C-alpha cells in the first residue's frame, strides 16, 4: 500500500470523529454559512484528497500558484483553493486574525476554520494565470466572479462526518479507505479514469487501452493492475447527465462483465470543475495521486470547455513540469473510433482509413437517449442503456438529463447529522 500523498507528505487527516469532542470544539464560535463549493472543499481538505493542503490558502500560496504553479514550499499545485467571503460579513461578525470560526452548511455544523490570514487578491489575475482567459463566458471565470471580495486563509477541521445517500454511499471512499481497497485487491498499479458522463463504448475502449498501457510488463494472468473510475460529483447544469445514472452506469460495466470485477472499481470524488484545461489536468492527477493511483489517463479535451484550449493541451503540460513533482504517471490517450473498412473499433494512427472513421459522437448519443431509442451495441452497451432508463424513472423525474425539477428536488448527495 502507498502511504505517501502528494509532495511526499502523509495523507492529511483533520477529522474529529467523536461527536462529543466535536460538540465541545464548536461551543461559542462565530458562525459562517457556506456554499456547496466550500462545503465540498472542506470535506476534501479534511480527508486528505487535497494533501498537502491542511486548509484554505493564504495570500503567499495563491501568489505562488498563479506565478509558478507551486505552493510556497515548492510543491506542485495548479489551482488556488480559497475561502471567499464578503467584506461586509467580516465586519458584521467581527471576524479577525486568530479567531476560530464554525462553518455551517445548510444550517448544520460542518467544520471549523482557523483564521490565520484575511486578505484580498485580484481575481482577474487568478483567471488569467490559471484559466488562461478572463472571458466571463468561461465557467471557471464565472466561479471567480461569484466569489466574495475577501479571502480567509487557515486550517480546516471537519467536526461533522457527512453521510452519503444511496446510491452514492457505495462509492464514497476517503483516500485512506481507497488505499485499503487497492491493497485488498492486490493492485500494484491503478489507472484513474475521470468522468462526468454515462459510459458509451468509446469510454470503455479508452479505459481498456489505458489499462494495457498501465499494466506494461506485469504478467497479465496475475491481474495486478486496476482501473479506478472516479466520477466527479459537483454542481450540475440543465442538460448534464444525472449523477445517479453516471455512477450506476459505470458500475453496470463490470456487473455485465464488460470488465472483470477484479480489475475495475467505481468511486466518486467531490469537486466543482473549473474547466481549466491543462492546469486542471495537473490538479486531477494530484487528486488521484492522493487516492493511491499510480497512473491517470488523459484524453482529448480533458477538463476543457469550448475552444479555450487546444484539444491536447492537457497532454503537453506534463512535459512542462519536473517529472519528480508528481508520483503518478500520465497516460495520454488519442481517439478511438469505429472504422467501417476494418470492421472494428480502432485507435488513432493504427489504420490508414481516417477519412472513413465514424467517431463516437456524444451529441448523437444524447439525442438518441433523449428519444429513448436504444443505440446499437457497438455504440452503447444495452445493459448501460437499460440502467439509464431505470435511473430516469427512479431518480431523474422522467429525464436522463438534469432538468430544473431534478436540480431543485433531487435527493442530496450527502447530508449532515445534527450535532
**pLDDT tens by residue, 169-222:** 999 999 999 999 999 999 999 999 999 999 988 889 899 999 999 998 887 767
Question: In the chain, what are the domains?
Answer: 6-161 (3.10.400.10), 164-415 (3.40.50.620)
Listed residue (197, 266, 251, 243) closest to 392, CA to CA: 243
Listed residue (117, 121, 119, 113) closest to 54, CA to CA: 113
As a whole number of angstroms, the distance between CA 308 and CA 141 comes to 12
Beta bridge partners of 195: 231
Report whether pLDDT(344) > 90: no
pTM: 0.95
Give me the active site residues, please.
196-197
SS3 396: coil
pLDDT at position 402 is 96
Question: Read out DSSP for 6-22?
Answer: GGGPBPP--B---HHHH
As a whole number of angstroms, the distance between CA 66 and CA 60 comes to 10
State phi, psi for 183 to the nearest 5 degrees: -65, -40
pLDDT at position 339 is 81
Q: Is 118 within 8 Å of 319 (Cβ atoms)?
A: no
Q: Tell me what the pLDDT averaged over the chain comes to.
A: 93
As a whole number of angstroms, the distance between CA 193 and CA 246 comes to 13
Q: Is 54 within 8 Å of 79 (Cβ atoms)?
A: no
Of 231 and 202, the structure prediction assigns the larger pLDDT to 231
* Cell numbers that stand for 221 in this block: 494472468
Give ∠ CA 270-232-195 in degrees, rounded to 5.
165
Residue 71 neighbours by CB distance under 10 Å? 18
Instruction: For the chain, report the end-to-end CA distance as a whole number of angstroms.
Output: 34
Q: Please compute the mean of the pLDDT values over residues 393-405 and round it to a whole number.
A: 96
Write down the residue that cell numbers 460542518 correspond to. Answer: 110
Report whether pLDDT(84) > 90: yes
Report whether pLDDT(259) > 80: yes
Report whether pLDDT(363) > 90: no
Report whether pLDDT(292) > 60: yes
**pLDDT tens by residue, 18-48:** 999 999 999 999 999 999 999 999 999 999 9
As a whole number of angstroms, the distance between CA 171 and CA 165 comes to 10
Of 47 and 374, the structure prediction assigns the larger pLDDT to 47
pLDDT at position 82 is 98
SS3 415: strand
357 confidence band (pLDDT: 50, 70, 90): low
CA atoms within 13 A on the CB side of 75: 16
SS3 296: strand
**pLDDT tens by residue, 316-342:** 999 999 989 999 999 999 887 778 888
Length reported for the chain: 419
**Residues in contact with 324: Cβ distance below 8 Å, sequence separation at least 6, in sequence order:** none
Listed residue (38, 37, 35, 45) closest to 14, CA to CA: 45
Listed residue (57, 45, 52) closest to 81, CA to CA: 57
- How do strand 117-119 and strand 83-85 relate by DSSP bridges? unpaired
Report whether pLDDT(389) > 80: yes
Q: HEC profile for 121-157? A: CCHHHHHHHHHCCCCCCCHHHHHHHHCCCEEEEEEEE
Listed residue (284, 250, 238, 246) closest to 408, CA to CA: 238
* Cell numbers that stand for 96 in this block: 479577525
pLDDT at position 336 is 78
pLDDT at position 1 is 47
SS3 336: strand
The alpha helices in 264-395, defined as continuous H runs, are 278-291, 313-316, 362-370, 382-394
Q: Is 131 within 8 Å of 141 (Cβ atoms)?
A: yes
As a whole number of angstroms, the distance between CA 337 and CA 360 comes to 6
Write down the residue that cell numbers 490559471 correspond to. Answer: 130
Listed residue (237, 274, 292, 240) closest to 41, CA to CA: 274
Q: Please compute the mean of the pLDDT values over residues 343-358 and round it to a whole number.
A: 76
Amino acid at each position: 500500500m502507498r502511504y505517501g500523498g502528494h509532495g511526499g507528505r502523509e495523507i492529511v487527516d483533520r477529522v474529529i470523529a467523536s461527536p462529543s469532542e466535536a460538540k465541545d470544539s464548536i461551543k461559542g464560535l462565530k458562525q459562517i454559512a457556506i456554499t456547496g463549493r466550500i462545503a465540498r472543499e472542506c470535506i476534501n481538505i479534511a480527508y486528505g484528497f487535497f494533501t498537502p493542503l491542511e486548509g484554505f490558502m493564504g495570500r503567499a500560496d495563491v501568489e505562488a500558484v498563479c506565478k509558478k504553479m507551486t505552493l510556497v514550499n515548492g510543491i506542485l499545485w495548479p489551482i488556488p483553493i480559497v475561502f471567499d467571503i464578503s467584506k461586509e460579513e467580516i465586519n458584521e461578525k467581527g471576524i479577525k486574525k486568530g479567531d476560530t470560526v464554525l462553518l455551517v452548511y445548510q444550517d448544520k455544523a460542518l467544520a471549523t476554520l482557523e483564521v490565520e490570514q484575511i486578505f484580498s487578491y485580484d481575481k482577474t489575475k487568478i483567471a488569467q494565470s490559471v484559466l488562461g482567459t478572463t472571458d466571463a463566458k468561461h465557467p471557471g471565470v464565472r466561479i471567480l466572479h461569484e466569489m466574495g471580495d475577501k479571502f480567509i486563509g487557515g486550517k480546516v477541521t471537519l467536526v461533522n462526518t457527512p453521510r452519503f445517500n444511496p446510491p452514492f454511499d457505495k462509492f464514497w471512499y476517503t483516500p485512506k479507505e481507497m488505499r485499503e481497497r487497492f491493497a485488498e485487491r492486490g493492485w500494484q498499479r491503478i489507472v484513474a479514469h475521470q468522468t462526468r458522463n454515462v459510459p458509451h463504448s468509446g469510454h470503455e475502449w479508452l479505459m481498456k487501452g489505458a489499462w494495457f498501457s498501465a499494466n506494461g510488463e506485469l504478467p497479465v494472468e496475475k491481474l495486478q493492475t486496476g482501473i479506478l473510475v472516479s466520477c466527479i460529483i459537483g454542481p450540475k447544469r440543465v442538460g448534464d447527465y444525472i449523477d445517479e445514472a453516471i455512477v450506476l452506469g459505470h458500475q453496470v460495466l463490470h456487473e455485465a462483465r464488460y470488465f472483470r470485477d477484479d480489475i475495475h472499481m467505481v468511486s466518486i470524488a467531490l469537486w466543482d470543475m473549473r474547466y481549466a484545461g491543462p492546469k486542471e489536468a495537473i490538479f486531477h492527477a494530484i487528486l488521484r495521486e492522493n487516492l493511491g493511483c499510480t497512473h491517470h489517463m488523459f484524453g482529448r479535451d480533458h477538463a476543457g470547455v469550448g475552444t479555450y484550449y487546444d484539444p491536447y493541451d492537457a497532454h503537453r503540460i506534463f512535459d512542462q513540469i519536473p517529472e519528480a513533482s508528481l508520483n503518478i504517471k500520465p497516460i495520454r490517450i488519442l481517439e478511438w473510433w469505429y472504422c467501417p473498412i476494418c470492421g472494428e473499433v480502432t485507435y488513432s494512427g493504427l489504420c490508414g482509413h481516417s477519412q472513413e472513421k465514424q467517431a463516437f459522437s456524444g451529441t448523437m448519443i444524447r439525442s438518441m437517449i433523449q428519444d429513448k431509442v436504444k443505440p446499437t451495441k457497438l455504440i452503447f452497451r444495452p445493459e448501460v442503456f437499460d440502467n439509464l432508463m431505470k435511473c430516469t424513472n427512479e431518480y431523474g423525474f422522467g429525464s436522463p438529463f438534469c432538468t430544473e425539477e431534478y436540480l431543485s428536488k433531487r435527493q442530496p448527495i450527502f447530508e449532515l447529522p445534527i450535532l
